[in-house]
Structure 1
Amino acid sequence: MSLIYSSVVDAPLDEVFAWHERPGAIHRLTPPWHPMSVVREASTLDGGRAVLGFPLGLRWGAKHSGYAPPHRFVDELDSAPLRWALKWRHSHEFRAEGDGTRMTDRVDTQVPGALLRSTFAYRHRQVAADLAAQRAARLAGDRPRTIALTGAGGLVGRALGPFLTTAGHRVVRLVRGQVNGPGERRWDPDRPAPDLLAGVDAVVHLAGASIAGRFTDSHRAAIRSSRIGPTRALADLASAAGVEVFVSASAIGFYGPDRGDEELTEESERGDGFLADVVADWEAASKADGVRVVTVRTGLVQSPAGGTLRIFHPLFAAGLGGKLGDGHVWQSWIGIDDLVDVYHRALYDTALSGPVNAVAPEAVRNSEYTEVLAHVLHRPALLPVPSFAPKVLLGDQGARELAQASQLVRPAVLTKAGHVFRYPRLDPALRHLLGR
C-alpha cells in the first residue's frame, strides 16, 4: 500500500457520496498544478471508465469497480502502455462519523506515497470546501436550474461548469464549434438562434478574446469585437427567452490602470484607458430588459492552470522570480475557487444586481505578492523585472494597462452581503493552488 489518506468532511454520508457520482466531480478533484487533463468522465461509478490525458499523448484509463454506495468505489489503471509498467488501484471509502463523513483514499501503487500526499490533501480540501459552499447556497435559496454557459473551455469556465454540475445544476455549454452531445448547443455569437436559450433558467457569459498580448490595432479590435456585440445579442435573447438572471464576465479594468492608493468599490467612477472604455461598453451591452443582470468585475485570477500564475509559477519555482520594477503597484487578486463561488452566488442571490467586484478582501503590493509566492515555493525572489521589460513584450499601452496596472479594489458588495471567501489571504490561497 503506497498511501492511505483520510479526513472528515462536514457533510452527511449520502451527500458526500452523491457529490462524487455527479458529472464534474473528477474535474473538481484534479489539482490545477498537475500536467494532466480530463479527457473523458466516467458515465457511472458502477463499471464506468474515465480517461485522463498526459503530455506526449499518454492516456490514463481508469476502470471503476467495487461499487457499494454510499460506502465505496474503486478505480484501477487499465490502459496500455502505462499499465504494463505501473500498478494503480485506488479505493475510495466513506463512512459516517458523527455528523460528518470520513473519507479515506487507499492507493496501491509503486509510486511513493510522499509524491501523492499533496494531491490527496488538495482533493480532500476541495471536496470539503465545495460541499460547504453548495450547502450554504441551498440554505440561501439555491435550487437545481438549467444554466447556459459560454466560455466553458476557458480558465474560469473549466472550473465553474463542473462546480455547478456537482451542485446539482444542469449546464448547457454554448459552443461555437461542433456540438458534442446533448449538453452542448451551437452558438453563433453574432446571430444566435432564436431558440438557443429554450428551457434555460440562467445564463453565465464568460466568452471573450484574451486581453493578454501586445496592444496592436488587430488585438484591440479582437478584444472589443469579441465582447460588445456578442454580449448584446445574447442579453437580448435572454430577455426574449425570459431567463431569470444573466451573469456576465467583466473586469476591474473598468477603474483604469492607475488610481494610486484610492480604494475602489463598485460605486467608484470609471477610469481612463482602452480597457476602461471596453469594460464600460461591455457592461452596458449586458443589460437585458426584465432580467436581473450581474456583471462580475474580476481581478487577477490565481490558478497555475492559467493567467499570470501560470507564467510566474515555473519562473519562481526555478528561483528566477522577482518583483516588477519597484514592486509598488497594487494587485487585486482572487483565487479561482473563490471566483467560482462569486459566480455561483450571482446566480442564486436575488439581492445581487449590477457590478460586483470579484477580488479577495486583501489586495497586495507587487512586492508582497512576489515575496509570498517565493516563500510558498521555498525559493528566493532576487531577480526583479526591469520596468522597461513589459514594454518590450506588450508595447507602451499594453504594459501600462496590463503589467503595470495598479488598482486597489475592494469587494464592497460582497462584504455587505456577508459573503465568505474560502481564501481571503494570499498565502493560504497559493498554498492550496500549488499543493504546498
Structure 2
Amino acid sequence: MPIYRKVTDLPFAREDVTAWLARPGALTRLFPPFAGRVVAEPDGIDVGAQARLKVFPPGRFGLGVTSAYGLARTLLPLPVPGFLAPEVAWLARHSAYEPGEVMADEAVSGPFSFWLHSREFTDATEDAGGAADPASGPASRMVDHVEYELPRLARPAEPQLESVMTAEFVRQFGFRERQLLGDLTFHRAHGRLPSQLRAEGGGDQRTPTVAVTGASGMIGTQVCALLGGAGCRVIRLVRRPARGPGEISWDPYAGELDVEALRDVDVVVNLAGHPLAGRFTVQHKRAVISSRVLGTRLLATRLAELAGDGRQRALINGSAIGFYGAAPDAQHPQSADGRLRESDPRGEGFLAEVCAAWESETRPASQAGVRVAMPRVGIVQSPSGGALQQLLPLMVAGVGGPLGSTQTQSWISLDDVAGLIAHLVLDADADGPVNAVAPEPVTAREHARTLGQVLHRPTAIPVPALGPQALLGREGSREIVQADQDVSAERAEELGYDFRHRTLETALRHMLGY
C-alpha cells in the first residue's frame, strides 16, 4: 500500500498549532485551490464529524480542465451541466482525535479504495531541527502520514500513478505548510493565538462577532475561514431563510433585514455583489450596480439605527480599484511617482461610477459613528476564479500570452485580499478607503511571462483583442482587460498589514503549487 510522509517543523507552540487546526475554517484554509474545493466543513474535528469535498484531477491537466470549466460557468450565457464538471465527490470522516497529540481522517467515499490521513504532534527538539526562530517561542513538529489504495481498475498502472500521486502530494502538502505558517503568523500578529488569548484572560470581549455578506464567494469563503481561525464568531448573511444561529436572513432588493439580528454583531463585512464578469449589457450593468448599492444602503442604515447603544461597531465594505477609472493617467493629476492613492479623485467610466456609488452608500453608518473601512480590491489572483482562471486554460495548453502589453496591472493574491480584509476587521483604528493591491504591480506582458515561467509554458502568442471583446463586449474589455492602473499599497502597509505575497511569482507559485 503506497505511503506518503511529511515532517513539518513549526515555530509555534504545539497548543497553538493543534487548537488552530480544530477551529472552524481550518480545512478551507488548508485545502489547495488547485486541488479542489470544500463543499461543507464541519464545525469541529470530533470523531465522526464529516467533511464534503470536490477533488480535481492532479497536475497541469487538472489545472487546465478545471479552470476551463470554471471559465465556462462564469461567462457562458447558459448554465453548464454539473455532470461535465471535472471533479470527484469525496466524503471524509474524522476517525481519531486526541487533543494536542493526534488527529486523523479517513475516506468514506471518493476516488480511492482506501484512504487514511493522520497527523501526529510533538514538541520539536534542538537535534530535530526545532524552533527556527527562538523569539517566536516554543516550536512543534507535525508529521503527516497518508496511506492510500488505488481503485481496482487503476491497479495495472499503479507504478505510474503512484509517481503522479507522489508529485501531487508534494504540491498539496507544500501548499498546506505555507498556508499554516502564514495563517499562524497572521494570528500571532493580531494577538489571536489561543495561548495569547489565554494569557490576556480570553473572555467574550476578545471574541468578536462578524457578519459577512457574499460569504460563499471566492473572497468571502476565505475571509470567513480566516476569521474563524482567528477565533471570531462568524455569521453569514444569506438570501434565504436562516438555517441556524450561524446565519442571518436578508433581502437587499426588498430592503429586508431585521435590525435586531445585528445587535450582537461587532463587525459587518459586506462583499455581496453581482459578478462583474459578463458582457456589459444594460441588464448586466444594472445588476452590477444595484446589487452593490442596495445591499450597502440597507446595511449602513441598519447599523446607523443601532448606533448609540454603547457598542462600537464597524462596517468593512467592499470596493475596487475600478474607482480610479480604466485610464487614470488621463483623468488624475500626476503624483511624483505616478501611482494612485486613496486620496485621488474617482475616475471616469462605468466601474468608477459603480465604486463611487458603492462607497457613498456607507455614509449613514459613518455619520452615526460606525467605523467604516473600504478595501479597494485589485485583480485577485486565484485559480478559483477571476482573471487568472480565465488565462489558465490557454496557458496550460501552451497557446496563451499577454492580455495587452504595457498596461499596469495592480494585482493581489487571494490570501492577501482575505488577510487585509480580516486585518481591517481586527484593527479598530483602520477606516476609510484602503487599496487592496500587492506592493509590486506588473505590466500585462510581465504577468503573462511570469505565469508562463511558473507553469513552464510559452507565452509568445498575445491574446487577440477580439477574444475579450467577444466575452465582455467592447466596454467591458476596455474597463477590465485593458485597464491601466498603477495603484499604491502604501496605506495598507501603514496600517500594519504584512503582505504574504509581495511579488507575482511567489503568489502564483503558492496558488498553483509550482
Q: TM-score range by the shorter chain?
A: over 0.9
Alpha-carbon offset, residue 120 of structure 1 = 0.8
Number of the residue aligned with 2:145: 106
CA contact (8 A) 1:38 1:53 kept: yes
SS, match of residue 211 in structure 1: coil
Number of the residue aligned with 2:419: 341
Deviates further, 148-157 or 67-76: 67-76
Structure with the bigger percentage of helix: 2
The answer to whether 1:430 aligns with 2:505 is: no
CA deviation profile, 1:224-261 (whole Å, cap 9, x unmatched): 11011220111111122245210000000000001248
Which of 156, 162, 167 is the equivalent residue of 2:230? 167
For residues 414 and 358 of structure 1, what CA distance do their matches in structure 2 show? Answer: 7
Residues 311/226 of structure 1: CA separation in 2 closer, same or farther (3 Å cut): same
Alpha-carbon offset, residue 143 of structure 1 = 3.4
For residues 103 and 155 of structure 1, what CA distance do their matches in structure 2 show? Answer: 29
CA contact (8 A) 1:33 1:434 kept: yes
SS, match of residue 27 in structure 2: helix
SS, match of residue 328 in structure 2: strand
Number of the residue aligned with 2:408: 330
Which of 132, 140, 163 is the equivalent residue of 2:185? 132
For residues 463 and 490 of structure 2, what CA distance do their matches in structure 1 show? Answer: 32
CA contact (8 A) 2:23 2:44 kept: no
The answer to whether 1:389 aligns with 2:467 is: yes
SS, match of residue 318 in structure 2: strand
Deviates further, 58-67 or 186-195: 58-67
Structure with the bigger percentage of strand: 1
Residues 47/396 of structure 1: CA separation in 2 closer, same or farther (3 Å cut): closer
Which of 385, 388, 391 is the equivalent residue of 1:312? 391
Number of the residue aligned with 2:98: 68
Per the normalisation by structure 1, the TM-score is: 0.94
Number of the residue aligned with 2:215: 152
Alpha-carbon offset, residue 193 of structure 1 = 1.8
CA contact (8 A) 1:300 1:334 kept: yes
SS, match of residue 268 in structure 1: coil
Residues 40/137 of structure 1: CA separation in 2 closer, same or farther (3 Å cut): closer
Residues 374/56 of structure 1: CA separation in 2 closer, same or farther (3 Å cut): closer
For residues 303 and 163 of structure 1, what CA distance do their matches in structure 2 show? Answer: 16
Alpha-carbon offset, residue 87 of structure 1 = 1.7
- Percent identity (aligned): 41
Residues 40/345 of structure 1: CA separation in 2 closer, same or farther (3 Å cut): closer
Which of 343, 362, 381 is the equivalent residue of 1:267? 343
Number of the residue aligned with 2:268: 203
Deviates further, 99-108 or 112-121: 112-121
Number of the residue aligned with 1:88: 115
Which of 362, 373, 376 is the equivalent residue of 1:297? 376
For residues 7 and 282 of structure 1, what CA distance do their matches in structure 2 show? Answer: 44
Alpha-carbon offset, residue 117 of structure 1 = 1.2
For residues 264 and 121 of structure 1, what CA distance do their matches in structure 2 show? Answer: 35
Deviates further, 188-197 or 124-133: 188-197
CA deviation profile, 1:133-152 (whole Å, cap 9, x unmatched): 01101179993211010000
Alpha-carbon offset, residue 344 of structure 1 = 1.1
- Superposed, 1:349-368 pairs within 5 Å as 349-368=427-446
SS, match of residue 145 in structure 2: strand
CA contact (8 A) 1:3 1:117 kept: no
Number of the residue aligned with 2:332: none
CA contact (8 A) 1:32 1:303 kept: yes
Alpha-carbon offset, residue 57 of structure 1 = 7.6
Number of the residue aligned with 2:23: 22
Which of 393, 396, 406 is the equivalent residue of 2:484? 406
SS, match of residue 257 in structure 2: coil
For residues 65 and 419 of structure 1, what CA distance do their matches in structure 2 show? Answer: 38
Residues 229/320 of structure 1: CA separation in 2 closer, same or farther (3 Å cut): same
Aligned residue identity for 1:199: D
For residues 163 and 8 of structure 1, what CA distance do their matches in structure 2 show? Answer: 22
For residues 373 and 16 of structure 1, what CA distance do their matches in structure 2 show? Answer: 33
SS, match of residue 38 in structure 1: strand
SS, match of residue 36 in structure 2: coil
- The CA RMSD measured in Å over matched residues stands at 2.0
CA deviation profile, 1:159-183 (whole Å, cap 9, x unmatched): 1101111110011100002423221
The answer to whether 1:239 aligns with 2:266 is: no
Number of the residue aligned with 2:65: none
Alpha-carbon offset, residue 58 of structure 1 = 4.2
CA contact (8 A) 1:37 1:52 kept: yes
For residues 347 and 40 of structure 1, what CA distance do their matches in structure 2 show? Answer: 23
Deviates further, 256-265 or 217-226: 256-265
For residues 48 and 106 of structure 2, what CA distance do their matches in structure 1 show? Answer: 11
Number of the residue aligned with 2:38: 37
SS, match of residue 195 in structure 1: helix
Which of 175, 182, 187 is the equivalent residue of 2:245? 182
Alpha-carbon offset, residue 383 of structure 1 = 1.4
How many residues are paired up?
432
Aligned residue identity for 1:304: P
CA deviation profile, 1:303-323 (whole Å, cap 9, x unmatched): 101111111122211112101
CA deviation profile, 1:312-351 (whole Å, cap 9, x unmatched): 12221111210124x1111000001111111111112222
The answer to whether 1:252 aligns with 2:296 is: no
CA contact (8 A) 1:266 1:412 kept: no
Number of the residue aligned with 2:400: 321
Residues 392/62 of structure 1: CA separation in 2 closer, same or farther (3 Å cut): closer
Number of the residue aligned with 2:283: 218
CA contact (8 A) 2:407 2:484 kept: yes
Aligned residue identity for 1:203: V
For residues 57 and 402 of structure 1, what CA distance do their matches in structure 2 show? Answer: 29
Aligned residue identity for 1:15: D
For residues 14 and 294 of structure 1, what CA distance do their matches in structure 2 show? Answer: 33
Which of 339, 355, 359 is the equivalent residue of 1:283? 359
Aligned residue identity for 2:142: M
CA contact (8 A) 1:9 1:100 kept: yes
For residues 498 and 91 of structure 2, what CA distance do their matches in structure 1 show? Answer: 38
Aligned residue identity for 1:147: V
Question: For structure 1, which runs of at least 5 residues remain unmatched after alignment?
Answer: none
